[in-house]
Homo-oligomer: A and B are copies of this chain.
Amino acid sequence: MTPFESESGDGGVALAERAARRAIDDADVQPDSIDSVHVANMAAEAFEARTGIQNALCGALGIEGAVADRVENTSASGASAVLRGVDAIRTGRADRVLVVGVEIMSRSDRDDTTEIISRLVHDREYAQGVTLPSFAGLAADRYLDVYDADPDALAAVAVKNHRNALYNPFAQFQKRITREEARTSPPVAEPLRLYDCCPTSDGAAALVLDANEGPVRVAGIAGATGTHAVAERSDPLEIASVADAGARAMTAAGVDHDEIDVACIHDAFTILELLELEELGFVDRGTAWRATLDGQTDLDGDLPVNPGGGLKARGHPLGATGISQLVELVWQLRGDVPGDRDPVANAEVGLALNVAGFGNNAICTIVEGA
């Protein structure tokens, strides 16, 4: 992957090419041996006034004669492109697939960027001014109330993920924060504050998928849509897409929760990390806040969550995020993590969760070390 940054100075094709070349070098393959190329990107038309990144990328890499397309699934575009690549291999039509996620969020007008992201939700909810931060704030408020949860748990998620990113050279923020700083940062959608929210980012990440056995295996991958309108959910704290995708991926992989050693989940807002831990079934409903305060999701806890810093601190270049989660898991499972940090001890099975919108779609991937 490339370092995630608030402003990279490069365009999307250049960043995608850089990440792709790193993945190709790491896999030690020749570009012209790749027969399927899938680029994850949410909104280059709006952010960079361009489409067809996949074709420009193939041109830059000298790949001819491949199947190539772009996959968009808002903030879950990355994992959707991986699923697309896995499907290509599983049909037998591709032997080697390049999946690249990229987003440039620094070059567009800030109001336009906000508008594009705001339009992810249901039209009726958009019309009422409910944005993703609003939904997250409403959910956090209700969560704290219903489960009588300690609001420090939200800050604890932010502090943990910032701590995990501290020595990750690919993270946008390498800055330690305290709970006090998180709690007193400017309000965004109360109870959520600035440090409860991921940033906007530029960045790219890439994977080479191969029909033959490699150091890490995709053991299961599954996607699921939920209700598009949050108002249609019987309980606004439930995210059915996450529960469905998680259960399916674990069934496909044939693994139970206690076999999963490390997880990269979609902490676009701190409250989401709590809700997703519950929806995935790692903890009982209404208890993720306590598990977090108890340190269970710390690097040395029962289930280290977001060891690379998560969306919160590694950054969230939309189309690249789902792929960067898997890049982090590959590093963890190979036991060789860039930067001055240690891999999670003896990690053999990892889980990645990439979520679109406010949970209208989710993709869960289980990977296993060799």
Contacts and interface: CB of A to CB of B under 8 A. Distances in A.
A176 interface: no
A356 B228 contact: no
Interface string A84-99: 1001101111000000
Most chain B C-beta atoms within 10 Å of own C-beta, residue among A60, A112, A116: A116
A236 interface: no
Most chain B C-beta atoms within 10 Å of own C-beta, residue among A67, A92, A115: A67
A224 interface: yes
A250 to B, nearest CB: 15
Interface stretch (A51-59, A272-280, A281-289, A329-337): A51-59
Contacts of A360: 52, 55, 58-59
Given A46-B46, A52-B360, A87 B83 contact: no
Given A87-B88, A228-B58, A51 B72 contact: yes
A361 B57 CA distance: 12
A349 to B, nearest CB: 21
A68 interface: yes
Contacts of A120: 50-52, 55
Given A67-B83, A73-B69, A49 B52 contact: no
Interface residues of A, number: 62
A80 B69 contact: yes
SS of A interface (majority) = mixed
A129 interface: no
A263 interface: no
B68 A73 contact: yes
A50 B83 CA distance: 23
A204 interface: no
B240 A64 contact: yes
A65 interface: yes
A122 interface: yes
A369 to B, nearest CB: 24
A120 B50 CA distance: 7
A116 B43 CA distance: 12
A348 interface: no
B65 A244 contact: yes
Interface in A75-129: 77, 80, 83-84, 87-88, 90-93, 112, 115-116, 119-120, 122-123
B73 A52 contact: yes
Contacts of A69: 71-73, 77, 80, 83-84, 223, 361
Given A42-B45, A58-B360, A64-B227, 12 more contacts: A37-B225, A49-B112, A49-B115, A52-B72, A52-B120, A55-B357, A56-B228, A59-B228, A67-B223, A69-B72, A69-B77, A70-B72
17 contacts: A37-B225, A42-B45, A43-B45, A46-B51, A49-B112, A49-B119, A51-B74, A55-B73, A55-B120, A56-B122, A63-B225, A65-B226, A65-B244, A66-B225, A67-B83, A67-B223, A84-B84
Interface of A: 13, 37, 42-47, 49-52, 54-56, 58-60, 63-74, 77, 80, 83-84, 87-88, 90-93, 112, 115-116, 119-120, 122-123, 222-229, 232, 240, 244, 356-357, 360-361
